[in-house]
Each structure stands twice: as structure tokens, then as C-alpha cells.
Structure 1
């Protein structure tokens, strides 16, 4: 559920940027919107705050992708181990059949 919220918030941020007249963080009424007193004031601090916000979401997304990859690697390892166990069972059964045929 958290991943959906992050994706939704990133999409909303993108949509709000598309509709802006000015740069993000350039002040209220100039496309920066009301993002707090620093961003409303505009100027370098407003732009810096907008950049920090973008960096935060970028890092968050990178961390989520990394966790997803780790989880997939774990699943792959699990399935490879299962394949190994099944192959060993198949070999045991084939060996039993061969032994039965010899009798």
C-alpha cells in the first residue's frame, strides 16, 4: 500500500509541474504553490527546498527498487533450491525404478 501512495504522490507531483507557469520553488502564485513559508517566499531557498524534495523522492524510489531487487534475488534462490530438491527426488525415484527392474 505504501508503494502505491508513493507512486501516486510522484505522479501528482509530475502533473502539478506540468501545469506550472514558473519554476518549482519560485514562490506562491508563480507555479511553486504553497509549499510552506520558505517555498512561498521564492528565491534561492525556495528552489533549494524544491530540489531537496525531489532528491528525497529520488532516493526513496532508489531504496524501494533496491529492496525489490533483493526480494527477487531471494525468490530466485528459493526456487533454485526447490528445483535442486525436486531433481534429487526425481533421481532417487528413477534409481528405485532401475533397481526394481533388475530384480
Structure 2
């Protein structure tokens, strides 16, 4: 990724990325700088929105997996109890 200092002044004309910046940005000056600032603001806001959505999705997934883990713990406890019951029955049969 390029550092902001390597691109020159934002809005001072066409960028160095190989494409034109549009007629306002090509002209440079105050309008070009304003347009560049708006563009930066848009992409920063978009990135914040995407990061927030990703964080919320991961939180939902964590909650889901915690619920599944709790369910699995319940099943494990039930199976262990059943094993204990079967062992008691087996001991009774051996004694008879």
C-alpha cells in the first residue's frame, strides 16, 4: 500500500495510479482538494461500517458456538450418567 506522502498533494491533479481523477481532480486547486477529501471521508466511513458489520457477525458466531458448546456439555453429562447406570447394572448382574 502506498503511503499518503508518496502520492503528492491530494486533489492536485491526476493520481499516479494510472487513471484519471476526473475533470475536477484533473484541474487541481481547491475543488480538487475538496473532492479528494470527500472521497477519503467516504472510504473511511465505508471501512468503519464494514468493520462494524464484521465485528457484529463474529459476535453472533461466537454466541452461536457458545450455545452449541453448552448443548454438547449437556449431552456429554447425559451420556456419562447413562454409563454410570450401565456399570451399576453390570455389577448387579455379576453379583447374582
Range class of TM-score, shorter chain:
0.7 to 0.9
The C-alpha deviation readout for 1:46-86, integer Å capped at 9, x for no partner, is: 10100011111111111111121112112111111111111
Task: Specify the SS of the correspondent of 2:36.
Answer: helix
Which structure's relative contact order is higher, taking Cα pairs within 8 Å and 6+ residues apart?
2
Q: TM-score, normalised by structure 2?
A: 0.75
CA offset at residue 102 of structure 1?
2.6
CA offset at residue 94 of structure 1?
1.0
Please, which runs of 5 or more residues in structure 1 have no aligned partner?
1-10
Instruction: Give RMSD over aligned pairs.
Output: 2.4
Larger Rg: 1 or 2? 2
Tell me the matched-pair count: 87
Please, which runs of 5 or more residues in structure 2 have no aligned partner?
90-96
Q: TM-score, normalised by structure 1?
A: 0.70
